[in-house]
Each structure stands twice: as C-alpha cells, then as structure tokens.
C-alpha cells in the first residue's frame, strides 16, 4: 500500500474524541480511509505533511491497539496525541493545556512483586515523551494559545509541561482526585493531569522506538463536576485548541 507520494514516513495524529478529529479532517488533502482492526484511519496530507489521523478510542488497551496498528500497518515514525484531561496539580485549571514530559500508569500496581506504579519487566514507572517532539509541541501550544487562540471563556489559559497519569478510570470525585494526587506525590510522581490513554501509547512507542508527544486540554478538575458540560467544552474549546496546536506543530517540523 502506498501511504503517501510525498513522504514514506507519515506522522500519526491521534485524537481521543471524534470532535477533535473533525477539524483536522476538514483540512485533510487527498483523504483516503482505511479500516483496520475495527478502526478508521484517515491518510492524507496536512500542511504538506503526510499524516494518518486516527481515534485512539478510550482507555489504555484500546489506545495501545491503535498505536500499534499505526506503527505496524501504516509505518508511522512519529506520533502526536491530542485530547483532554482532568487537572490534578495545583494551578492546573480548566482551559489550560498540559504538554506531557512523562507518563505514569496510576492504576498499575504489581506490588509486592514490583514497586507500586512500576511497569513489570521495564524497570521503570515512567515513560518519557520524545524530547525534541515534545519541545516543538510545547512551542506550538504556546503559540496557538498566545495567538488569540485562547478561548474567550479562558483568556488567561496557561501551557504547562510535566507528568501526566493515565488509567482506566474517569476520575470524577473530589476525594478520589485528592487521594490520587496525594498517593502519586507520595511515591515521587508530581502529576499535573489525569487521562486514560497517554501512558499506554508512550509504552508502545518506547517498544517500537517511535518518537511520541502528547498535549491535553484541561476539561475538568477530576472532581464532582468533572462530567458537567463535557461535550460542550470539547466542541467549543478543546477541538479548537487541538486544531490550532496541530497546525502550528506541523508547520514547525523538519521534513
């Protein structure tokens, strides 16, 4: 299968939600859909780059399957994730953006065989984003929000860089979120945000040696109101951020 006439190594743009993907799909040149492993992959060009757009689906296993398919079937050699997350760290507010420097699986516990959070047989709890790609993504996010990209509802949105925790759970209680933050902090993991896929994609990308970077817009504080206005936030804020950030990133990439 020919993936692109312009580049043999497309960049994967993974979105957590359909609304986030839609803005990118509208700009996709020569779109071509391939259905594989129960997922739709959209091949085409964005800003002169060969890309594959895909939905991660929700949760660690689904996201790992999507990431593996992107690498094995579509030959991607760089992967970027855009999505939303709950803010856990102090000062990480709704409307802010977090670029992941590292990932940890907050629901992984093989103790007493291995230290809590450590991924068995990897000898580590944390997986890093690719330094160069993450730096470009951070710059893209800062430029996108600074350029009038910040929404009217969140005019003082900040861009953070740090640790993101992933797990198969939508965290939606103030008590749970406090205890998650305290337990992770107690184990030396100063987490900024929580979501459901990033650490799994990071692990797959480490296995394959594929550079990975992720950006998350904070949609909630992982507390009792975490579910309120979630769809409206995705549509009106997160999708626009994702679109603007990916655009800035793609134009800043080396060929």
Q: Which is nearer to ligand ADE, 52 or 141 (CB)?
A: 141
Least Cβ distance, residue 2 to ligand ADE (angstroms): 36
Least distance CB 43 / ligand ADE (angstroms): 27
Query: Quick one: 88 or 140, whose CB is closer to ligand ADE?
Result: 88
CB-wise, 84 or 99, nearer to ligand ADE?
84
Cβ of residue 198: shortest distance to ligand ADE, in angstroms? 10
DSSP per-residue string spanning the chain = ----SS-SSPEEEEESSHHHHHHHHHH-EEEEEEEETTEEEEEEEETTEEEEEEE--SSHHHHHHHHHHHHHTT--SEEEEEEEEEE-STT--TT-EEEEEEEEETT---TTTS-TT-BTTTTBSEEEPPHHHHHHHHHHHHHHIIIIIS-TT-TT--EEEEEEEE-SS----HHHHHHHHHHHHHTT--EEEEESSHHHHHHHHHHHT--EEEEEEEEE-SSTTTTTTHHHHIIIIIHHHHHHHHHHHHHHS--
**CB nearer to ligand ADE: pick between 86 and 95:** 86
The answer to whether residue 220 is catalytic is: yes
Q: What x/- string results for residues 71 through 110 when contact with ligand ADE is judged by CB under 6 A?
A: -------------xxx------------------------
Name residues whose C-beta falls within 8 Å of residue 243's C-beta, 6 or more positions apart in sequence.
Answer: 20, 23, 24
Candidate list 45, 96, 220, 247, residue with the active-site label:
220
Q: Which of residues 132-191 bind ligand ADE (CB under 6 A)?
A: 170-172
Judge whether 207 counts as a catalytic residue: no
Among 226, 238, 242, 246, binds ligand ADE (CB under 6 A): 226
Q: Which of residues 4-43 bind ligand ADE (CB under 6 A)?
A: none
- Please, which residue, 44 or 86, has the CB nearer to ligand ADE? 86
Residues that bind ligand ADE (CB under 6 A): 84-86, 170-172, 194-196, 219-220, 222, 226
Residues annotated catalytic, as ranges:
20, 220
């Amino acid at each position: 299968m020919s993936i692109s006439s312009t580049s043999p190594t497309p960049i994967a743009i993974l979105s957590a939600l359909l609304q986030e993907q839609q803005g990118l799909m509208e700009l996709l040149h020569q779109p071509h859909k391939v259905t594989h492993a129960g997922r739709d992959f959209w091949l085409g060009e964005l800003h002169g780059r060969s890309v594959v757009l895909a939905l991660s689906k929700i949760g660690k296993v689904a996201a790992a399957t999507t990431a593996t398919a992107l690498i094995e079937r579509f030959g991607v050699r760089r992967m970027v994730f855009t999505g939303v997350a709950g803010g856990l760290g102090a000062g990480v507010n709704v409307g802010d953006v977090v670029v992941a420097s590292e990932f940890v699986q907050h629901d992984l516990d093989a103790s007493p065989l291995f230290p809590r959070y450590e991924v068995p047989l990897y000898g580590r709890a944390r997986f890093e984003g690719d330094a160069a790609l993450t730096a470009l993504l951070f710059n893209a996010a800062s430029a996108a929000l600074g350029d009038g990209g910040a929404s009217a509802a969140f005019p003082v949105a900040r861009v953070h860089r740090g640790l993101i925790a992933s797990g198969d759970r939508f965290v939606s209680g103030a008590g749970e979120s406090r205890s998650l933050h305290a337990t992770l902090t107690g184990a030396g993991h100063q987490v900024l945000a929580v979501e459901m896929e990033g650490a799994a994609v990071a692990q797959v990308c480490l296995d394959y040696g594929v550079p990975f970077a992720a950006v998350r817009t904070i949609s909630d504080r992982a507390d009792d109101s975490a579910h309120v206005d979630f769809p409206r936030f995705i549509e009106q804020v997160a999708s626009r951020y994702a679109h603007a950030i990916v655009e800035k990133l793609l134009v800043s990439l080396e060929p």
